[in-house]
Structure 1
């Protein structure tokens, strides 16, 4: 870890082990610190479920820097085909590590410590801040130097590509399609009658010629 820190690498670690099957009636273990998450300079991450709370049976810890999805995570299997579903803080740490990689790719000027600070400052407020990957990548610092969850102009959709433009295009396409359908129906109704009349205007009948005595 000292070698990684000396090369400005951000170390992300699961704050707790992944849950294991416990015997019925067994008392949960008291909160404790785990290595290497508790080491100085390490970004420790705990798992949370879809409700934003710790999953049932998750090991307890005395503290963590960040929370990320870690319950029922679906991914590729370790071998063969199909998918793998797992739960635990190690999955949450993988989410945080991936987000950190995106942040350092978008902002290469940030140090490892600044990247960790950005992840926690742009997270959703909670007892343990909840990871927000989009805000971590796109937020911009204010003049005081704090990182605020303000979206960068570089990710704003250009005019004409938003949902309003898409809606207008969809309406015009629907109107055009409906008009074309009505035109086809009208032609199918009128064409046979026109052929029967020899394409003469409606309401006029041919007049037979007369001869004088």
Structure 2
């Protein structure tokens, strides 16, 4: 696209382009030129909307975190329905089948990006920290409903589940795990606190 031609929703178009590059080629291939080429726009478009490339990447990560926050509400609302294991397996699959694994790789590979993100996520790894909070919130409601034991330590279960999910999906070039594999892993993690049949 020639310079001077307006593009609609430039930020979202650039974010989507960055996500495609990240998923296809990995964090090391993510450059401003790669993003604008993928988006089909002039390089200046990115710099019109963001102070620099690290600012763009930080906004990309924050945008994807906002999506996790939206899914967290839906997960919390699912408490008391279906089974706890199915709800958790679905949530982990939804999270890690998306761009989350690639975003984690991006964050861990760029020191300047991590430094910027410390302003909003002072501890942990952005995306994984928010996913852990979402799972903990859901487990808290299920504990209140009596579907997991009153003594269940949700602050330990949540990062255990997120770490397990991350490991299952970590090979972004390989075949994603089957639904049954995710459910078996979740079932193993919650077996000691589940108060419903674990089929």
| TM tier, smaller | under 0.3
TM-score, normalised relative to structure 2: 0.26
More helix per residue: 1 or 2? 2
Query: Which structure's CA Rg is the greater one?
Result: 1
More strand per residue: 1 or 2? 1
* Larger RCO of the pair (alpha carbons < 8 Å, separation 6+): 2
TM-score, normalised relative to structure 1: 0.25
